[in-house]
Amino acid sequence: MSRTLYVINPNSNADVTAQLSAAVEPLRRAGGPEIRCVTLEAGPPGVETQAHVDGAALAVNDFAVRHEADAAGFVVACFSDPGVAQLRERVAVPVLGISESAVLTALTLGHHFGVIAILPGSIPRHLRAWGAMGISQRCVGEIAIGRGVSALADREATLAAMIDAGRRLRDERGAHVLVMGCAGMAGFRAPLAKACGLPVVEPTQAATAMALGRVLLGW
């Protein structure tokens, strides 16, 4: 296939994009379109507020419309799924948001899921999304680790905070599955799963796998 499956990082942090590219590497071996992870360099260092989300939605749509001609599909790699609904109305290829895809995947792995968020302000946005999807009763809660996207680069401190949050979601809330609530957490799935003893969903992997399946099946 000559077309490209674009994985769009709407923040300007190239390190996050590199982590996303590493996370989806196993899917590149499945055949199909090229999977290309791109950074929207005009975006903020991290999409952390509703204002950031609103701005990212416009930037994502602008990028996608400009690249539709050679696109097999688009994955919006931000856990607030900025611009996904609008983009689905504008292009004729699959459009997947990592938040929606992550929780749909989690529902196939266990009855109740918990989310590890970056900041407390992220949680109300996520809860609105679960309500709109009609799955609020399956979410046992979210715990924020208090670290913005840029701070996730301190891998030791970030992983320790994520493990603590994951164990609390497991032990105090009864989570059967953990969802990592930020694209910038992509590199932590395996050690988090090992430390917590639960399935862990990395959102960009979940969304890219769904997009790739749809492209290969011609849906």
CA distance 191 to 176: 17
pTM of the model: 0.94
| Residue 31 burial by Cβ neighbours in a 10 Å radius (0-12, 13-18, 19+) | exposed
pLDDT above 70 for 1 = no
Q: Domains along the chain?
A: 4-98+204-217 (3.40.50.12500), 100-203 (3.40.50.12500)
Tokens of 111: 């009855």
Q: Do residues 145 and 117 make contact, with C-beta atoms less than 8 angstroms apart?
A: yes
Give pLDDT tens digits for 78-110. Answer: 999 999 999 999 999 999 999 999 999 999 999
In eight-state DSSP terms, residue 14 is H
Beta-ladder partners of 9: 39
Give the model's confidence band at 2: pLDDT under 50 very low, under 70 low, under 90 confident, else very high. low
Report, as an integer, the average pLDDT of 61-71: 94
End-to-end CA distance of the chain, in Å?
15
Give pLDDT tens digits for 124-173. Answer: 999 999 999 999 999 999 999 999 898 999 999 999 999 999 999 999 99
Q: Do residues 158 and 128 make contact, with C-beta atoms less than 8 angstroms apart?
A: no
The side-by-side arrangement of strands in the sheet containing 200-201 is: 139-144, 113-117, 177-180, 200-201
Contact partners, residue 156, CB within 8 Å, separation at least 6: none
